[in-house]
Structure 1
Amino acid sequence: MKRRFYFFTGVLVLLWLAGCRDAVVNAPNTFTAPETRLVVDTINVVQKSTVRFQWSGEVPDGFVGGYFVSFDKQNWTFTRSQDSTFNLTLFSLDTTYTLYVSACRTDGGNKVYDTASPRGTINFGHEPFTDLDANGTRSDNEPFTDIGLIDESPAELRIPVENSPPKLDFTTGSDVPDSTFPAVQFTLQVSDPDGNSTIDRIELSLNDSLFLNPLRITGINDLLILTIEARDPRSSTTDANVYLGSNPTALTTPLKNFRLDNTNVLYARVFDAAGAVNDTLRSMPRKRDTVGWYARRVTSTLLIVDGYGDVSRDPFQSTIAADGFMRDSVMTKILNGKFSGANRYQTLEIKRYIIASGVLQRILGFYDISFWYNDLRAAASDPADNALSLDLAQSVLPALLAGGKYALMCVASNSTSINTNALGFSTAQTFTVVNAVSDTTKPLSLKTRFVREDAGYPEIIYNGIALVPGFLLNGMLLQPGAEPIYRLPNTAQGSANYVCARRRYTNLQGLETGRLIFCTAGMFKPVRTESGSTTTNFTALRAFYEKVFKDEFNQVPL
């Protein structure tokens, strides 16, 4: 009996165990929601606006498939990464953010794409998908991630963020000279430790440290090349056009209070999106011993562009009367004194190449005529001096001459390798160096009489060895359409023996717009009288320049 009882009991136990096994196998998987943790849950130290955080998640009966991240619990971003770097926009000088992260499962979903993912009190948004056609909306053929359970209690972290003020400075070597014409260029470097994308605007003012009426410039987050140009270059105080970079169109709003024949200070400051501002920056000249720069007013129709290397012998600027004759005995005498007194010509020195071509073009645009000249050889310390005039002229004169301006250029070089690309604006295709000493096939005597191709010009006797031995001038092979004025008497150079010529600039209709007189002989001291090889012929020089300015450039005598 007892055995029968034990057997019966054993059968019941086996049946019960079998039933238990069936129940476990057939029971549905309930899936456990994941838990989320941030690696750091407290921040007491103020952060910069670029921060990096890490997080993790765990689930006891499966795997974490990704994370939803948000800073407002309204807009969520899905990621499979467990860390990220954030650039936090600052809406005030200091801001506190809260980071929310919820881990999620990518199993146990409903197998269909959901445009919303409500979990508890939070809607995590649409399920992530691969946007193959980049239209921002999921198409039927685009794969998606089927989201299962999401942590409905996101891990969160409060992030106090300190704003760093932006920085602004003049770039190295970009300070203006201590004296300029009514067009000047500045180069400013702007940056922000919190990221240049946080820069909101730059404010500029002329001669107003209080910024009572500033010019505001937006959209600059790196380098600002700024050109200031007087709207009325003959006025004592005027508004200034402002050009950014190489843009030929000025900003709509001008800078106020540009003072001419006076000292100016440019004040600049930069703001970021949170309102932080740098210390005010003040312009300084290259010498950096004073604040501000002196801007000259335009008082003449003629600008002398001085490329003469030896200042002591400069025919326009030398304090020695015998050497400064162009100033005292020629230019102030022609056209009944048109370029003397209150209307005296003005001079721009380019010997040190301290002026950008864009600024030079604006300066030349203030004048009807520019007269370029340089000495007959490069300085030993800087053999590129003479090529400088050609390079600058090539960069600025074509547009000016096409726009109605006039130019006279007396340029010579002792170089045997002239950059022909810099001659495009001129009358010359190439230069041929004429040697006065060692090459007897190309003679230049003490009295070389130029052959006049234009009978309206005066006779010129040229002392070929008056200044220095060696290479003293160049003959030029003329460009098609150039009109010869003077040439050398010898034929050793063949057709490359012209020393002065005319080029007319025309528009598409064939009408003349501007004119260039181009000389490869220095029309200064080497021009001699008939009776003496050492006596400068002021009469011939005045006749030459009067012919150029009156008949070629339409200047009316006083």
Structure 2
Amino acid sequence: MTYISYILIMLGVLLISSCNETLIHPSDNQPPNTTLFLDSIRNQQNSRVYVSWSGEDTDGMVIGYIFTWDKKNWYFTRNNDSTFALQVESSDTNFHFSIAAIDNSLKQYPYEGERIEFVDKNNNGFHDPGEDFPQLHGAVDPTPANLFFPIKNSAPIIAWGNDTTAKSSLSVALPDTTFAFATFKIFVTDPDGDATIESIEWSMNDSTQNANWKTLPKNTRLFNVTIKDGLLLNANNAIYIRAKDIGKLSSKVLRYPSTNKTWYVRAAKGPILLIKDCANKDIDNFYSRALSLIGSNTFDGRFDVLDINTTRTADAPAKTIPPFINPMFIESLNLYSAIVWYTDKSPSMTLAQQSLTPYTRSGGKVLFIADLPAPLSEDMRTEIRDFSPIDSIGSSEVSSDPLAIRNGTEFIALEHGGTIYPNLIKERGSVLVYPLYPKANAKPVYALPVGTKWQGTPILGVQDDESTMIFLHMPLHLLNTNDQAIKLIERIMLDEFKIR
């Protein structure tokens, strides 16, 4: 074989070898390309933005994407679009969105939402062109698509109640006149996300920038106002409130009451609150007169009257009752040392159940004089048992005869180891009563005598063992022969409750 022939044979072998290499080892994987449908947005957007994207791969298919809003944190997704809620950190903020397609050359793919690490070659904390994502092994577009979002900060929204509707605001409106404790409920939100709310500020009787604006925690939705906070007594008041976000934008200033209404705060005249739960003016006059006379006129002009009957309807409590029993109504009761609560046959027992136990636990004293309807519902029996020293009430009245308890009948005061109460004599009217059964630690204080129209000596008055509540099921205004019923109220207030 000549030298030239040898060279030609070797060249042929190399050519064949080169062709075989081409067939056996195809060219390297080509990365995909990524497209965003807009490359910029000129008009400012709100903080919720919709973004869509797509990818193409010349030698395969696109399986997923990685995206970022800060060039630091990249996340995997298989979606082609999404709505993002952006965190606004100043009055206006520019956001930079980047996304890169991933092809089908990987053996294993990240899970949805998985954070993808990159090699930060220059240690600047941001992903820069040419920096690899090791987990993706070259399957990712090295030139991500980008979109810039100028985001406009939106001011917070504040309203009274649970939402921004007029119905919600009305549901939390206070009575036109209140005592020196008020509870307000507010709704606060922000179109940019509630996490952007920084604070809630309020001021009493002044809405200027120089007012004494006080700050509430940003999650506050219920708050109270007292004299210490600037309530003016025996005067009209107004409260102003606003919310601020982290971009220092403020909501509108909300005023309570609205500009065409008034909110009057009255001071307590003295230590006793008389609660009128009755529609009979004769009964009203009896209790007002009694409190004015007892203790040689000690409390004349030194008690307040709360009418919870006149504006009450079948569907709603009286307009004098605040929307928040706890704490507003209970704390209003706590402004007084003692309560005299009298009812007709439509008593507000649910309100008594909700408020009187926390009131007595706080040291308050209660004289409760109840007239009861017939029949007496199980719900009302439960309510009475919950707040009073009564364990149970008879299934029926002591007599079905409205004249069974005749004029001149004596209601016997029972010895109970405390203040001696006077016997009371019925002087007029019709008296229908149920027998009461005291709780184990309570003491009976009044009973009917033995009679032919009823069995035994039904108990009609009970006092708890701590002398915080006396429950009487007797119409005192009909038992006031020789002003003995007034004398009873005097002994309870002065001697038993020690009110001064």
TM-score by length of 1: 0.73
Other structure's SS at 2:329 match: helix
Are 1:315 and 2:283 an aligned pair?
Answer: yes
Match of 1:426 in 2: 388
Other structure's SS at 1:361 match: helix
Distance 2:183 2:405 in 1: 45
Contact persistence 1:260–1:295 (CA under 8 A)? yes
Out of 498, 502, 511, the residue aligned to residue 459 of structure 2 is: 498
Match of 1:175 in 2: 173
Distance 2:282 2:181 in 1: 25
Q: How does 1:358-437 map to 2 (within 5 A)?
A: 358=326, 359-375=328-344, 377-378=345-346, 386=347, 388=348, 390-415=349-374, 416-419=376-379, 420-422=381-383, 423-432=385-394
Amino acid at match of 1:121: D
Out of 144, 158, 170, the residue aligned to residue 154 of structure 1 is: 144
Are 1:454 and 2:398 an aligned pair?
Answer: no
Structure 1 residue 462 displacement after superposition: 2.3
Distance 1:405 1:40 in 2: 70
Contact persistence 1:110–1:148 (CA under 8 A)? no
Are 1:516 and 2:469 an aligned pair?
Answer: yes
Out of 470, 473, 479, the residue aligned to residue 527 of structure 1 is: 479
Other structure's SS at 1:424 match: helix
Distance 2:81 2:59 in 1: 24
Out of 252, 258, 263, the residue aligned to residue 293 of structure 1 is: 263
Distance 1:85 1:210 in 2: 40
Distance 2:292 2:192 in 1: 60
> Residue 198 and residue 493 in structure 1: after superposition, are their counterparts in 2 closer, same or farther (change >3 A)?
farther
Amino acid at match of 1:497: P
Other structure's SS at 2:20 match: helix
Match of 2:486 in 1: 542
Structure 1 residue 282 displacement after superposition: 0.5
Could you tell me which runs of 5 or more consecutive residues in structure 2 were left unpaired when the two chains were aligned. 1-8, 110-114, 122-126, 162-167
Q: Percent identity?
A: 26
Are 1:201 and 2:199 an aligned pair?
Answer: yes
Structure 1 residue 22 displacement after superposition: 0.5
Contact persistence 1:117–1:123 (CA under 8 A)? no
1:224-245 CA-partner distances (Å, limit 9, x unpaired): 2222233xxxxxxxx23xxxxx
> Residue 494 and residue 54 in structure 1: after superposition, are their counterparts in 2 closer, same or farther (change >3 A)?
farther
Structure 1 residue 63 displacement after superposition: 2.9
Match of 1:85 in 2: 83
Match of 2:218 in 1: 219
Contact persistence 1:436–1:442 (CA under 8 A)? no
Out of 41, 45, 48, the residue aligned to residue 47 of structure 1 is: 45
Match of 2:308 in 1: 350
Contact persistence 2:448–2:457 (CA under 8 A)? no
Distance 2:222 2:45 in 1: 33
Contact persistence 2:198–2:218 (CA under 8 A)? yes
Distance 1:193 1:217 in 2: 20
Other structure's SS at 2:275 match: strand
1:20-47 CA-partner distances (Å, limit 9, x unpaired): 5412123354111221101233323432
1:204-257 CA-partner distances (Å, limit 9, x unpaired): 11111125321212332xx82222233xxxxxxxx23xxxxxxxxxxxxxxxx2
Higher alpha-carbon deviation: 297-306 or 450-459? 450-459
Match of 1:510 in 2: none
Taking only aligned residues, the RMSD between alpha carbons, in angstroms, comes to 3.3
Match of 1:116 in 2: 118
Out of 225, 228, 238, the residue aligned to residue 228 of structure 1 is: 225
Match of 1:246 in 2: none
Contact persistence 2:446–2:461 (CA under 8 A)? yes
Structure 1 residue 82 displacement after superposition: 1.9
Other structure's SS at 1:550 match: helix
Structure 1 residue 442 displacement after superposition: 8.8
Other structure's SS at 2:499 match: coil
> Residue 540 and residue 502 in structure 1: after superposition, are their counterparts in 2 closer, same or farther (change >3 A)?
same
Structure 1 residue 76 displacement after superposition: 1.9
1:378-433 CA-partner distances (Å, limit 9, x unpaired): 2xxxxxxx1x2x32222232233233321111012214214232122212122337
Aligned length: 456
Contact persistence 2:87–2:193 (CA under 8 A)? no
Contact persistence 1:116–1:123 (CA under 8 A)? no
Contact persistence 2:398–2:434 (CA under 8 A)? no
> Residue 81 and residue 480 in structure 1: after superposition, are their counterparts in 2 closer, same or farther (change >3 A)?
same
TM-score by length of 2: 0.81
> Residue 126 and residue 258 in structure 1: after superposition, are their counterparts in 2 closer, same or farther (change >3 A)?
farther
Out of 266, 285, 288, the residue aligned to residue 327 of structure 1 is: 288
Contact persistence 1:478–1:496 (CA under 8 A)? no
Amino acid at match of 1:22: N
Amino acid at match of 2:362: G
Structure 1 residue 108 displacement after superposition: 5.9
Distance 2:147 2:433 in 1: 79
Q: Which has the higher helix share?
A: 2
1:301-353 CA-partner distances (Å, limit 9, x unpaired): 1111221134xx1534xxxxxxx24323x211111221114xx1112233333
Other structure's SS at 1:24 match: helix
> Residue 272 and residue 188 in structure 1: after superposition, are their counterparts in 2 closer, same or farther (change >3 A)?
same
Amino acid at match of 2:118: A
Contact persistence 1:465–1:472 (CA under 8 A)? no
Higher alpha-carbon deviation: 491-500 or 25-34? 491-500
Distance 2:498 2:108 in 1: 89
1:135-167 CA-partner distances (Å, limit 9, x unpaired): xxxxxxxxxx54434323221111122233222
Structure 1 residue 16 displacement after superposition: 8.5
> Residue 494 and residue 50 in structure 1: after superposition, are their counterparts in 2 closer, same or farther (change >3 A)?
farther
Q: How does 1:51-66 map to 2 (within 5 A)?
A: 51-66=49-64
Other structure's SS at 2:353 match: helix
Are 1:259 and 2:221 an aligned pair?
Answer: no
Match of 1:338 in 2: 298
Amino acid at match of 2:472: C
Distance 1:28 1:493 in 2: 111
Contact persistence 1:263–1:295 (CA under 8 A)? yes
Other structure's SS at 2:283 match: coil
